[in-house]
Amino acid sequence: MTSVKTENALTDKIGMWVFLATEICFFATLFLSFIIYRHESHEAFHIGSQHMNILAGTLNTGILLTSSLCVAMADLFFRKNNYQLSVYLLIITFLLGFCFLGIKGYEYIEHIHSHLLPGFDFHYAGKEERGVKMFFVLYLIMTALHAVHLLVGLIVLLFLIMRMHFLGQQKDYSRGVELSALYWHFVDLIWVFLFPLLYLVDRA
Amino acid sequence: MTMYTKISEFKIYVVSYLGLMILLCLSVLMTYLNLGILGFVFCLLIACLKGLIIFLFFMHAIKDKAYLFIFGALLLFLISMLILILSDFRMRTG
Is residue B57 within 8 Å of B16, Cβ to Cβ? yes
Check A185 against B28: CB less than 8 A apart: no
Chain B positions touching A189 (Cβ under 8 A) are 51, 54-55, 59
pLDDT in tens, chain B (94 residues): 455 555 688 999 999 999 999 999 999 988 888 777 788 888 889 999 999 999 999 988 888 777 777 778 888 888 888 888 888 877 887 6
Q: How many CB atoms lie within 10 A of CB A32?
A: 16
Q: How many CB pairs under 8 A join A and B?
A: 94
Q: What is the mean predicted confidence (pLDDT) over A179-197? A: 94
Better-predicted residue by pLDDT, A184 or A169: A184
The alpha carbon of residue A167 is apart from the nearest alpha carbon of chain B, in Å, by: 28
Q: Give the single-character DSSP code of A170.
A: G
Cα–Cα separations (whole angstroms), residue A189 to A46, A112, A197, B54, B63:
24, 27, 13, 7, 18
Predicted pLDDT of residue B4: 57
Q: Report the predicted TM-score, pTM, of the whole model to 2 decimal places.
A: 0.90
B13 vs A40, A54, A73: nearest CB: A73
